[in-house]
Structure 1
Amino acid sequence: MIYSPPRQANFFMIFSHGNGCDIGTMDTFMKILSDELNTHILIFEYPSYGLCQGSVDINKTTVNNHAERAYSFVHETLHWPTDKILMYGHSIGTGPACHIASTKPIGGLILQSPYTSIQNVITGLIGFPGYLFGNSYWNNLETMKYINCPTLFIHGERDGLIPSEHSKTLYNSLGHIENKQIILLPDDDHNSISYTMSSSCVKSFLKQFFPPSNQLLPEINIDPEFRVPPETIQTSSSIFSYNPFTSLFNLSTVSINATQSVYNSMFSNQYNNQ
């Protein structure tokens, strides 16, 4: 799905959405971002989400592949210059966004409510050692060492799902980058950051690190069908539905407590049997 402002765009943003939505539910936010930031936006879908149904399993590799195809379309098909390409990842979507930023040349990276690693999120939620779930999930902290573009972190300080310490750790790991910014919102949690607040944060970031340019950018001619938002048809699929830890970002307090109890019991029995 592609969005364009009513005037000549200054950037082309590739957006990786969070776990509990699809490109249909993101329509309002994409319109706000496109208009407020004066940017084209391509929001791509994950396997088994929304309209993207099929036999492809959903995992880090397949989602990263979709992100790479989105990047290839913007840069190689539309011939958009790399220094004017922005990656924006939200929550689980910060994984594929960091993947692109660490492997492809881009102009800037925006991470809203990011995590250091999925393993650390698991440990923080249930106290269960995240490494026991393997290393097949995104590790943004490891990826940071390969990122060299201006980077913005946006995080709510009341976020109980992915605490703001994750953003602080990621920000501090970018010691090799001068053009970085972290915005901590004291009254927001994981899902309460408003569209207008997100847009305002990004607008300030772009103004600070991307001075006005007279660079001639290509005209974008897209078939109208790619500008018509789909109906909201988010399925019950979760990005972790094919993995041992199902629906990580949809865990309830009850399920967290139950898993914690099983974990404590398991290790207690192991200790008593020694």
Structure 2
Amino acid sequence: MNRIYVTLRIILFLILSALGLYISEAALNYLSIYFKNEYLFNVIHSLISVLIVLLNVRIFVKGNLLEFINLDIKKIDYKKLINILLFTFIVNILITIVLLGIKKYYVYNYIWDKLYIEDMVAVILTGLIISLSFAFIEEIILRGFILNTLPFKKKTSVLIVALVYVVFNVLSRGFNLIFMLNLFLYSMFLNLIYIKYNNLIYTLAANFIWFFTSNFIFSLSFEPDKLDFLSVINLIYGNYDIISGGEYGIFGSIIFLIVMSLADIYVLKWMGVFNRRTLKG
């Protein structure tokens, strides 16, 4: 009975979060005609989205909010944090470089081809805020709330959260097997890091740097001129195949599948899972 109650509670949380984000987006789009500065509009949009998710969590969590979602900036191991940031950044950069090297991606243009220096700074600062907001929303919903609320053993909960992440993305971007497998492996990687350190700050940082690198250092499109945001390097892809990933980007590539599979195995081994010492709860 308790599991049914908790499951319904999570479903209600997701519905209210989606509804709140939808209403805020609709309202801001209506008011967008009054914003002359597009960068400011996007920053406000991102911050309001974060606020809505936090307020929604507050409805369901009566105690200390930061304690419930395990976000503790006082207990940060900066060496481990930097290692996670570097790993996430390097994996993204290296896979992109490989795909450029084998002619699956091509450089379309650079940010300095279109913008002056002051506009470049604005784009990058906007990208940092949007990326941090995106990571914050995703981490609070998936690991901060759902993973901490699920009334199952840890090994079951991390699988459920990974599947929820896959479903969210498939609903918004469509069905593709490699894309789904990569989403699952990436989410599992973040889930395991969260379980290992018991602090949302590490997965928040990893998600932030991944989103920023994928959208504001590199951006990938079949029609780069139609992108909402400029990145430092705008890339274009040819026809879809399992190596390039096509419109799914790195998440649609079998190269990412191999790399993330190895990363997950390494983290599991590092956590001692193969020795049956962890993830029992």
The TM-score with structure 1 as length reference comes to 0.28
More strand by share: 1
Query: Larger relative CO (CA 8 A, sep 6+): 1 or 2?
Result: 2
Structure with greater helix share of residues: 2
How high is the TM-score relative to the length of structure 2? 0.27
